[in-house]
Amino acid sequence: MVEKGIHDTPMSAIAKAAGTGMGTIYNYFPNKNVLINEIYTSIKKQEQSLFVNFDSSKPFRTQFEDYFTITVTFFIDNPEYFQFMEQLQASPIITQESKEEGRKSIAPVYELLMIGKQQRIIKDIAIEEILMFIGGAVFSYLRWYFSQTEKQNTSLKNQMALVWDGIKE
């Protein structure tokens, strides 16, 4: 689905890939756009679930790095999710509602950054802006990672350094 682009993947192909019939999909999703939005929020929820038992007793930087690493690893382990997100992040197909919903996945990071700001560990910049920055860095890194023919994720440390040095006070 994701290799040829969501738009160039007919429902028949999606059904086939899902090992089911087309009609079955329509028993669960009223139309293709809803399906896509559901996949979107589903991925976001999976992302979110990674942070549920997050240890807030750890040092701030460790928590930050954990978050970063976990997120990157999640998409490296699920490359098709990455491709999906890349294609749809900016797509008008994704409704405002889904985006809203998706934003929840980063609620823990939001919390974390709030604390970081309060404790003057990180810069005093609008959290939304920092979130965008971090999110952008995650995806930049993944983009770079997947563009490599010989995957070498040793550089994850580099990337985290880039981001950390950027946001830290």
Partner DNA sequence: CATGAATGAGAATTCATTCAT
Partner DNA sequence: TATGAATGAATTCTCATTCAT
Start-to-end CA distance of the chain, whole Å, equals 43
Task: Tell me how many helices (H) and strands (E) the chain has.
Answer: 9, 0
Q: Return the number of the residue (56 or 73) whose C-beta is nearest a second copy.
A: 73
| 123 counts as binding DNA under rule CB under 7 A | no
State the number of CA atoms in the 13 A half-sphere of 169 facing the CB: 12
45 binds, among DNA, a second copy, none (CB under 5 to 8 A by kind): none
12 binds, among a second copy, DNA, none (CB under 5 to 8 A by kind): DNA
Let me know: does 105 contact 131? Beta carbons within 8 Å. no
Could you list the residues that contact a second copy (CB under 8 A)? 3-5, 7-8, 83, 86-87, 89-93, 123, 125-126, 128-130, 132-133, 135-137, 139-141, 143-144, 147, 155, 158-159, 161-168
Phi, then psi, of 18 in degrees rounded to 5: -85, 0
Q: Return the number of the residue (51 or 84) whose C-beta is nearest a second copy.
A: 84
